[in-house]
Amino acid sequence: MQRSDAVFVESQAITRPRLGIIGGGQLAKMTAAAAAQLGCQVAVLERQEDFPARGLATHAVIGDWDNPRDLLRLAPLADVLTVENEFVDPAALAVLGQNHHPLWPSAATLARVQDKLRQKTLFAEAGLPVPRFADAPERDAVRQFGFPAVLKKRRHSYDGKGNATVRAPEELEAAWSKLDGDRHPLYVEAFCPFERELAIIVTRGQDGAVVCYPVVETINRDHICHVVKAPAEVSAATAARVTELAVRAVTALEGVGSFGLEFFCLADGSVLLNEIAPRVHNTGHYTIEACVCSQFENHVRAVLGWPLGAAALRAPAAVMINLLGHGDGPGAPRGLAQALRVPGAHIHIYGKTRSARGRKMGHVTALGATLEEALATARAAADCIRFGGIP
């Protein structure tokens, strides 16, 4: 009797793990690839039939991630659910908890991050250095806050969308209109004269164990991540400070999974936490080739309750360059064969159906003995590739 019970328990325990991802873009695609390597099945919820993670999903559920009924179509296909973006409606996500479907990061963590005013408040209360900020329910609150300032949407902003710089009072009305402040809750932040932007990926397990990737420098163009240099050329003290703040931030959120954190580095060497994404992040794509265990594999490990892998760099330097759409056109690039001629360039094409100006269509990572060498390799390949627009 005891023996057959033991066998029963054993056979229950060794089924293939099933990961469900809410969202099916390139972040889901790279997460699914890591999950597949570890023998997981992957189910993905996405709005339309053709999406980047489609080819790597064992099951695709076509639906709306803000619709509780669609979330409940995905959930039974997975042992654990995770999100590809931070914009899923917390009210919709609540249905998962009510039906005992595990979700990591938790709905509580996501709610703390989604509202950027709430995020800033939580970080400030945790003693983390953030730019001065205030709620801006109406125009007067901005005037009282002072200028220059950055007016921001509290929700659904990314890649500079949802932000407007207000240098002086006479620019307020235009900014308010641009962000449609009468309909969307806004908040205001002090304009931060940063010297450069730093970022870091932190993965936190369900047991609270934390793995920190190297601190990197991000160079944005038109508010979109353009180049990531790993490691950032900063002092050991600055790198340690960023790492310490990042761990405190993810811990304050009770986060589980990989998180991307962006920092402002000021002229005096001090750093301010800018924002956090409760998910794998563009600034961590380099980890696929450059680190022992990528941000994607560690995210899978974290949400499935497995031990985390090592985040150490496998080369002295790595550079990632985003491949952004030049304009409308097909989702497949011109110039791929030429780019593949560049030795040491690791090329990722996301497989989106269409290109649009500024849309993230792929990326290139290169390793090197120095950042200059890695940058030259990555740029040589990236310069060959073009998505959409007039050739």
Stretch that binds a second copy, among 97-105, 128-136, 195-203, 332-340 (CB under 8 A): 332-340
Residue pair 319/342 in contact by the 8 Å Cβ criterion? no
SS3 289: helix
By CB under 8 A, the count of residues binding a second copy is 51
Between strands 345-349 and 329-330, the pairing is unpaired
Q: Measured between alpha carbons, how far is 154 from 65 in angstroms, rounded to an integer?
A: 20
**Interaction between residue 209 and a second copy (CB under 8 A):** no
**Interaction between residue 206 and a second copy (CB under 8 A):** no
> Nearer Cβ to a second copy, position 153 or 363?
363
232: tokens are 């950032």
Tell me the C-alpha to C-alpha distance, in Å, between residue 148 and each of 193, 214, 221.
Answer: 10, 32, 21
**Interaction between residue 219 and a second copy (CB under 8 A):** no
In the complex, what is the shortest distance from the CB of residue 118 to a second copy, in angstroms, rounded to a whole number? 34
Stretch that binds a second copy, among 132-140, 190-198, 276-284, 301-309 (CB under 8 A): 301-309
In the complex, what is the shortest distance from the CB of residue 137 to a second copy, in angstroms, rounded to a whole number? 45
Task: Give 206's contacts (C-beta < 8 A, 6+ positions apart).
Answer: 104, 256, 302, 305
In the complex, what is the shortest distance from the CB of residue 21 to a second copy, in angstroms, rounded to a whole number? 12
Among 259, 350, 360, 371, binds a second copy (CB under 8 A): 350
Q: Measured between alpha carbons, how far is 202 from 214 in angstroms, rounded to an integer?
A: 9
Per CB under 8 A, contacts with a second copy among 228-287 are none
Per CB under 8 A, contacts with a second copy among 6-35 are 10-11, 13-17, 29, 32-33
Among 42, 96, 249, 320, binds a second copy (CB under 8 A): 42
Unique residue bearing structure tokens 């997460």: 31
**Interaction between residue 58 and a second copy (CB under 8 A):** yes
In the complex, what is the shortest distance from the CB of residue 69 to a second copy, in angstroms, rounded to a whole number? 25
Residue 241, Cα to own-chain centre: how many angstroms?
A: 21
> Nearer Cβ to a second copy, position 113 or 303?
303
The beta-strand segments (E) located in the chain are 18-22, 41-46, 59-62, 80-83, 133-136, 149-153, 163-166, 186-190, 196-204, 210-212, 216-221, 224-230, 257-265, 271-277, 317-324, 329-330, 345-349, 354-355, 360-368
Stretch that binds a second copy, among 37-45, 72-80, 120-128, 239-247 (CB under 8 A): 37-45
**Interaction between residue 340 and a second copy (CB under 8 A):** yes
Q: Measured between alpha carbons, how far is 380 from 369 in angstroms, rounded to an integer?
A: 16
Between strands 210-212 and 196-204, the pairing is antiparallel
Unique residue bearing structure tokens 């986060």: 255
> Nearer Cβ to a second copy, position 54 or 229?
54
In the complex, what is the shortest distance from the CB of residue 63 to a second copy, in angstroms, rounded to a whole number? 20
Tell me the C-alpha to C-alpha distance, in Å, between residue 41 and each of 35, 101, 201, 203, 257.
Answer: 7, 16, 25, 22, 18
**Interaction between residue 193 and a second copy (CB under 8 A):** no
**Interaction between residue 319 and a second copy (CB under 8 A):** no
96: tokens are 């998962």
Per CB under 8 A, contacts with a second copy among 361-390 are 362, 367
Binding interface with a second copy (CB under 8 A): 10-11, 13-17, 29, 32-33, 36-42, 54-58, 292, 301, 305-307, 309-310, 314-315, 329-334, 336-337, 340-341, 343-344, 347-351, 362, 367, 391
